[in-house]
A and B are shown apart, each in its own frame.
Chain A
Amino acid sequence: MNMALSFEESNVVHALLTSEQRPIDEILAEFSSKLGRPRYFAVCNSLLLLLEDRRMLKATERLIAFAILHQAYSSLPNSVNPFISYIVNAACDDEAEKCERAFILQLLVSGGSNGGKEFLEQSAANYIKLFDSSAHAFPQCEQLQQQYCDEVHSEPYNCFFKNAAVKNVVPDPDVPQSCDANSQEFDLQPGAKPKIGSGDRDETLTELLAHLSLEGLGPQWIRPRPPMLPIQDGELVWINPDNNHELMWDHGMCADTSRGAAVRDLITKALKGPLAPAQQEQVLVELANDPKLVYHCGLTPRKLPELVENNPLIAVDVLTKLINSPEIADYFTVLVNMDMSLHSMEVVNRLTTAVELPKEFVRMYITNCISSCENIKDKYMQNRLVRLVCVFLQSLIRNRIIDVKDLFIEVQAFCIEFSRIREAAGLFRLLKTLE
């Protein structure tokens, strides 16, 4: 909301204020018709600031100003009028003219539904002329406040700084030094030649109306602007010519897919049963000749157990070659979870010596071995498996594939459980020597 008055508005208000000979209710009617309701607050605010300066307005103008202040919100209860406390205070102001106070009291009374607006039918000049102070009683301030401001609204909230604001207009009389600025001699006399230091009150009044503002002048907070972040190292883009990357032709198009067909067939066979030594040799040689062939030989993690059981040597070779493949984890998972057997242990044992296996995998494998031994029902088969596991563990320990510390308790318990078996006792002794 724009709080300042436009120049037209100030002209209108000025004209209203100076109509001392017109009946006041006429002036009020004109006020309502010429200024829209949304502007009331701004106008009243300017009037209030003018009223605060006793010098500025003549007595008649003050009456009209008070009438407008009151009239603007007369359709509402008195207590809702935002200027009510000022009006009430003015009514109790002992320094003010009796006439003005009486007028304000009448305004306040007329706010009710019981009429009493006759006094507004005369002009402001007439009101002052006919004023008889003896006809009026001046109640106490407290009483008036109780009567009219009982539901006083707290100051409309603006903010800390604005609440403290002071009027933003300062008189700065421009008169020759050592002259009294209040003297009548500097008022502009109609028809007379303006002398130094004289000024037109009416002109000033209009301009003041336009420049007074509700906010007034408050103390000013300095809000330092954040500085621009200095250019960071490497923020300016240095350009190096790029390397050339040409689009590639796919040479795999319709390529001879029989590559390694023999190996694929052999691997398929190897899943079903042991290969003959010559066949086995052929697979190993072909895999060695074409390092990529291992990815195309038809083996998948699911098929690994069959390969391990039937052709452990080939399984070792393939896994060794796949060690960098992203699928190797899947192969390891399958290997850990397949049934324990001599061949699977054989494969793991050989793998440990050929490549570096994930520690986690080796551990899980051993744990599985041990629990397989424990779970087996057939005594004969159990003995057999335990002996195998013991030999396998000894091999791992001797070759420093596993760190005994990691599995010490587990392995020790295993040895004790199967201490009746010679190999387990041997393993136990080995553990003791390492302790």
Chain B
Amino acid sequence: MDSRDSSSSQSTPAANRETTASAAAASSSTAGEDDAVLSVTAALAKDAALHFQSRRFTECLAVLYQLKLKKEDNPKVLHNIAIAEYFRDGCSDPRKLLEVLNNVKEKSEQLAQASGEQVDAGSNTGNKVISGSKGSATTAHQFSATNGATLVYMDEFDPAVATLNIAIICFHLHEYTKALSVLEPLYHNIEPIDETTALHVCLLFLDVALACQDASKSAEVLIYLEKAFGVGCVSQGDNVSAAHQQPANLAAKSSSILSSSSALDASNSDLTPSGNALENSLSRTLSLSEESLEYETMFALDISGQNFTRPSGLPSSNDLSRIQLDRSMSTIDLKLKLQLYKVRFLLLTRNLKQAKREVKLAMNIARGRDSSTALLLKSQLEYARGNHRKAIKLLMASSNRTEMGISSMFNNLGCIYYRLHKYHTSSVLFSKALSSSSSLWKDKPLKLSTFLQDKSLLIMYNCGIQHLACGKPLLAARCFQKASLIFYNHPILWLRLAECCLMALDRGLIKSGRTSDKSEIIVHVIGKGKWRHLAIENGSSRNGYLDPVEREDLFLGSDGQPKLSVSLARQCLLNALHLLDCSDIKGLKSSLPSSISLEENESSEAGSLKNSNHKGLTGLDTKASTLSVGLGQLNANGDAKEQKGVTSQEIMQNSISYFEDICLRENQMIKQALLANLAYVELELENPEKALSTAKSLLELAECSRIYVFLGHVYAAEALCLLNKPKEAAEHLSIYLSGGSNVELPFSQEDCEQWQLEKTFDCEDSNGGSSAKISFPEESRGIVFHKPEEARGTLYANFATMYAAQGELERAHHFVTQALSIIPDSPEATLTAVYVDLMLGKSQAAISKLKQCSRVKFVPSHVQLNKS
């Protein structure tokens, strides 16, 4: 208090002149008046907070406006006004609030920086300048003057709450990446933030990281939360009795944390006991002029005095534990919450075994409470494990019957039915989910959570997949376009959109240079009788190109809907490749892709080992903690907690690396598909050079499905033919050649099954639909899939084409005959056969081939001859 008085009275006249009127008044006032101002504003602030808590926003604002008069431009006042006004106005405009909060945050940072600079500058040049800087600081903030050259700004301009609120709004608006970028600096500087806010920051960060599918960040926060808030470390067996003991157990626990932390403080800093010793040594050092000093003894004293009970492992983990102040949620609620987060994390990383264990634990904790979320997660778990019937049962049991709950339930059921290959049912379910999601908006007044609960964009993606699978590319594209608001940074979205384009192209729904559907041969019948001719529709325009006009068209039609085209497909594929490359760089892992399958086995083995390890520790742990509760052995308790923390950390670490492998493989799959599609699209657009380079990069991929290897070779060969390099083209095809004239199967049925991800699930309780290898009645119409035999036929036909074009008609004849025996209905093979016959002068044979092929359509010609 003394120093405050002196500092304000010491402020120089020059500084005073700089100050604003109000600040000048404050700085010239006595300490008593200062206190009065302080208490008045503090009281007002308290009032406002009370009004806010009881949701009386008008009254709250009245008080806040008063405060604003007293404390002009105070960022915290402005912040609270913005929040209160937002609630008063029915939460209608979150974007506006976002803008205001961003301004507040900016202002806080500026003010903090300004005062921070002054403080730092002051510290350099000694007292006199410090007092001067104090004077000028009053212009920024009158209280800093009265409090001396200290870091008051840390409290006063701390933008933590504003930042958190910004992130909350972004989260509600589904802008997860932005929310993450706002939260990250806050999380990394979480130590100085008070308990309540810090907990919110952590929980939100966790939600956002999970929404972004960022496994490592999720794990980081989870581990931190378990340590810092002292929950999640209470071990608990699977037995029921443990669950009953739990509350008491927990209470003891939290108190033990409290006392243990203080005890640790004492022993850690080591000051109380050895303070005197130090004093001694210090004084002795000061009188060092006496040579008699024994340095050895000086330090030896310390060494012996300390006993070296330095905590094993990370001592910081103890310091992390936060004392639970007035928390809005009870310990058990928090514990349940964290447990559910853990399950979500494990589901995200597809560590299903561990997830099963943890979800059981969550069910135990949730006993007698709201267990709907736990049930939902359990349902998701069973869905992920392929136990679809069980998943449905659990989903129906989770009794969340709100609009939101119903919407997500329909959606999730839709997912399950899709997996059951019941496409019609899943389509109905998805559209029901959409309609009940949109009915959320009917509820007035709006809430911020309404934005969050509207999951229609997520459901849209599912709808898109469903339409695509049912062969409706235009509808699917519309869904994907809407979903792109959220999924724009997911490569797979762009792949799907490109697939829509290609499917539309295939179905003849979009214009290309093609004169007709590719699946038919048009033959014009010209003239009659003796003069009758057959004109086979121009073959080359079948391999059609787009009109130049079409090419320049924008991707959006006049109605704002995406205009599907081959060029749009190319753009989408390039987007996806770019995103994929970015993510590759981000999560660079130099593991050799070829050894992945091996690694996976190993890691899963290691995982199970670790798991069993963990189980053992859990048992130990339970004992340890009960012991500690009985005997009050704080140290043993702390150690047990430590070990537990490490194990759970290990589980998470394993999950993350397992997940990284999964993502790596998934990205590889996507990349293959992208390159194959892109090579195809470039061929369609008549860019053989680009097609060739794309096909080559597809073939260069380390781990490439044999299906895509086949496609890569065929595309590369075609591109080379188009570039007039038949020799090199032949090299690509001839790897499938054996014995000079026989073509091998380019891939096997197993390759197909592996590629289609149809796998049998290991179901411990195999009463559900245990294996996915059942042939389902409802066939998907979207997946045009090459059977190995068809691929072989294609190779025969293309060999024939290549030889024919080089004039090797006899060989061509051999290959095309083989091709037609495998794929008799192929229009291309038929035309090649016709060509070869015509070249060999066998026009009768050619005509009879045309007449035999089921894909040929004879159309009469309609020219009116104007006879004059």
Residues of chain A touching chain B, judged by Cβ–Cβ distance below 8 Å, are 3-4, 7, 10-11, 14-15, 158-175, 181-183, 186-187, 194, 196-204, 206-208, 210-213, 215-259, 261, 264-265, 268, 277, 284, 288, 291-292, 295-298, 300, 302-303, 312-313, 316-317, 320-321, 323-326, 342, 346, 349-350, 353-356, 384, 387-388, 390-392, 394-395, 398-399, 423, 426
Stretch with Cβ within 8 A of A (4 or more), from B559-567, B650-658, B675-683: B675-683
Q: How far is the CB of A334 from chain B (nearest CB, A)?
A: 12
How long is the Cα–Cα vector from A355 to B80 in the complex, in angstroms?
Answer: 40
B2 shortest CB reach to chain A, Å:
8
List the B side residues contacting A426 at CB < 8 Å: 296
Shortest CB-to-CB span from B121 to chain A, Å, is: 10
CA distance A161 to B296 in the complex (A): 94
A187 proximity list for chain B (CB < 8 A): 530
Residues in B with CB closer than 8 Å to A216 are: 538-539
Closest CB-CB distance, B868 to chain A, in whole Å?
Answer: 7
List of B residues within 8 angstroms of A173 by Cβ: 529-532
Q: Name A's interface SS.
A: loop
For window 234-273 of B, CB contacts with A under 8 Å fall at 262, 265, 268-271
Other A-B contacts than A254-B67, A255-B45, 7 sampled, CB-CB below 8 A, are A161-B540, A199-B527, A222-B794, A234-B384, A241-B408, A250-B79, A313-B275
**Which of B613-621, B637-645, B795-803 interfaces with chain A?**
B795-803
The residue of chain B having its C-beta at the shortest distance from the C-beta of A157 within the complex is B724
Q: Does B72 contact A (CB under 8 A)?
A: no
Contacts of B189 in A (CB 8 A): 325-326
Q: What is the bound-complex CA distance between A243 and B262, given in angstroms?
A: 33
Could you tell me if B838 and A226 are in contact, using CB atoms closer than 8 angstroms?
Answer: no
- In the complex, A175→B528 CA distance in Å? 9
CA distance A187 to B531 in the complex (A): 9
A255 contact set on B, CB distance < 8 A: 42, 45, 155
Binary A-proximity of B36-69 (CB < 8 A = 1, otherwise 0): 0010011011001100110000000000000100
Q: Knowing A175-B529, A224-B791, A232-B757 touch, does A353 contact B465 (C-beta < 8 A)? A: no
**How far, in Å, is A185 (CB) from chain B's closest CB?**
9
Top 4 A-B residue pairs of the complex, sorted by shortest distance between their CB atoms: A204-B527, A199-B529, A295-B192, A211-B535
Interface presence of B226 (CB below 8 A)? no
B214-222, B438-446, B584-592, B857-865 - interface stretch: B857-865
Question: How far is A399 from B300 in the complex, measured between Cα atoms in Å?
Answer: 11
Check B535–A252 contact: CB distance below 8 A: no
Q: Which residues of B contact A174 (CB under 8 A)?
A: 528-530, 532
Q: When the two chains form their complex, are residues A215 and B539 in contact, meaning their CB atoms are under 8 A apart?
A: yes
Q: Which of B270, B722, B843 contacts A170 (CB 8 A)?
A: B843
Do B49 and A387 have beta carbons less than 8 Å apart? no
Residues in chain A near residue B383, CB distance under 8 A: 238
* B10 proximal to A (CB < 8 A): no
Which B residues from 92 to 144 make CB contacts under 8 A with A?
119-120, 123-124, 143
Name the B residues within 8 Å of A390 (CB-CB).
Answer: 295
Known interface pairs A203-B527, A217-B536; A170-B838 also in contact (CB < 8 Å): yes
Q: Could you tell me if B76 and A253 are in contact, using CB atoms closer than 8 angstroms?
A: yes
Is B15 part of the binding interface, using a Cβ–Cβ cutoff of 8 Å?
no
* Assembly CA distance A395 to B295 (angstroms): 11
Q: In the complex, what's the smallest C-beta–C-beta distance from B43 to chain A, in angstroms?
A: 9
Q: How far is the CA of A199 from the CA of B861 in the complex (A)?
A: 14
Please list 14 pairs of residues, one from A and one from B, whose beta carbons are closer than 8 Å in the complex, sorted by A's number.
A168-B537, A202-B867, A206-B865, A220-B797, A227-B783, A242-B207, A242-B449, A256-B42, A288-B265, A300-B151, A302-B123, A303-B123, A313-B275, A355-B315
- Cβ of B299 and Cβ of A391 under 8 Å apart? yes
Contact indicator A200/B308 (Cβ below 8 Å): no
Q: In this assembly, does B824 line the interface, its C-beta being within 8 Å of a C-beta of chain A? A: no
Given contacts A166-B838, A206-B863, contact A254 B77 (CB under 8 A): yes
CA distance A170 to B533 in the complex (A): 6
A88 to chain B, nearest CB (A): 24
Whether B533 pairs with A171 at a CB distance below 8 angstroms is: yes
Q: How close is B237's CB to chain A, nearest CB, in angstroms?
A: 27
How distant is the Cα of A163 from the Cα of B315 in the complex, in angstroms?
79
How many residue pairs between the two chains, A and B, have CB atoms under 8 Å in the bound complex? 474
Q: Contacts A211-B861, A220-B832, A245-B207 given: A159-B535 contact, CB under 8 Å?
A: no
A244–B373 alpha-carbon span in the complex (Å): 13
Contact of A227 among B308, B530, B538, B786 (CB under 8 A): B786
A186–B531 CA distance with the chains assembled, in angstroms: 9
Q: Is A217 a contact partner of B835 (Cβ separation < 8 A)?
A: yes
**Is A295 within 8 A of B154, CB to CB?**
yes
User: A317 — which chain B residues lie within 8 A by C-beta?
Assistant: 269, 271
Q: Shortest beta-carbon distance, B119 to chain A, in Å?
A: 7
CB distance from B109 to the nearest CB of A (A): 15
- B847–A170 contact, CB under 8 A? yes
- From B4, B278, B315, B543, give the contact of A313 (CB < 8 A): B278
On chain A, the residues within 8 Å of B503 by CB distance are 228
Any chain A CB within 8 A of the CB of B829? yes
Contacts of A164 in B (CB 8 A): 804-807
Q: Enumerate chain B residues within 8 angstroms of A321, measured Cβ to Cβ.
A: 319
Q: Which listed residue (A212, A284, A356) contacts B271, Cβ 8 A?
A: A284
Assess the B380–A208 pair: CB atoms within 8 A.
no
Taking the closest CB of chain A, its distance from the CB of B72, in whole angstroms, is 13
B209 at the interface (CB under 8 A from A): no
Report how far A198 CA is from B784 CA in the complex, Å: 47
Say whether, besides A247-B83, A355-B315, A252 and B148 are in contact (CB < 8 Å). no
Contact (Cβ within 8 A) B373 A241:
yes
- When A199-B532, A324-B319 are in contact, do A248 and B540 touch as well, CB less than 8 Å? no
- Most chain A Cβ neighbours within 10 Å, of B42, B191, B798: B191
CB-CB under 8 A for A203 and B865, given A253-B45, A391-B296: yes
Closest-CB distance, A391 to chain B (whole angstroms): 4
Q: How far is the CB of B423 from chain A (nearest CB, A)?
A: 11
Residues of A contacting B230 in the complex (Cβ-Cβ under 8 angstroms): none
B314 at the interface (CB under 8 A from A): yes
On whether the beta carbons of B150 and A264 are closer than 8 Å, the reply is yes
Contacts known (A174-B528, A222-B798, A324-B320); A353 close to B308, Cβ less than 8 A: yes
- Cβ contact within 8 Å between A296 and B154: yes
Task: Tell me which residues across on chain A come within 8 A of B188, comparing CB atoms.
Answer: 326
Shortest CB distance B466–A (Å): 9
The answer, among A229, A244, A249, A277, for a CB contact under 8 Å with B49, is A249
Contact residues of B between 752 and 791, Cβ < 8 Å to A? 755-757, 782-786, 791
| Distance, CA A160 to CA B802, complexed state (A) | 9
* Nearest CB on B from A266, distance (A): 10
Knowing A165-B539, A256-B38, the reply to whether A247 touches B296 (Cβ < 8 A) is no
Contact A247 B843 (CB under 8 A): no
Please determine whether A295 and B191 come into contact, CB atoms closer than 8 angstroms. yes
Binary contact track B175-213/A, C-beta < 8 Å → 1, others 0: 000000000000011011010010010011001000000
In the complex, which residues of chain A have a beta carbon less than 8 angstroms from the beta carbon of B847? 170, 172
Whether B330 is near chain A, meaning CB under 8 Å from some CB there, is no
- Central interface residue in A216, A229, A399, by most chain B CB within 10 Å: A229
Pick from B354-362, B410-418, B736-744 the stretch touching chain A: B410-418
Is B369's CB within 8 Å of the partner chain A?
no
Closest Cβ–Cβ distance, residue B160 to chain A (whole Å): 8
Report which of A251, A323, A325, A391 forms a contact with B298, defined as CB distance below 8 A.
A391
Q: Give the shortest distance, in Å, between B688 (CB) and chain A (any CB).
A: 8
- Interchain CB contact under 8 A, B83 and A423: no
In the complex, the answer to whether B458 meets A245 with C-beta atoms within 8 Å is no
Q: Which residues 842-868 in B have Cβ within 8 Å of A in the complex?
A: 843, 846-847, 861, 863-868
Knowing A233-B757, A356-B316, say if A247 contacts B168 (CB, 8 Å). Answer: yes
A265 and B155 contact, CB distance less than 8 A: no
Smallest CB separation, A342 vs chain B (Å): 5
Closest to B521 in A: A220
B542 at the interface (CB under 8 A from A): yes
Q: Return chain B residues, CB-CB under 8 Å to A202.
A: 865, 867
Point out which of A204, A258, A391, A423 has the most chain B C-beta atoms below 10 A from its C-beta: A204
- Give chain B residues whose Cβ lies under 8 Å from the Cβ of A346: 278, 281-282
A164-B805, A238-B383, A395-B303 given as contacts; is B531 within 8 A of A221 (CB)?
Answer: no
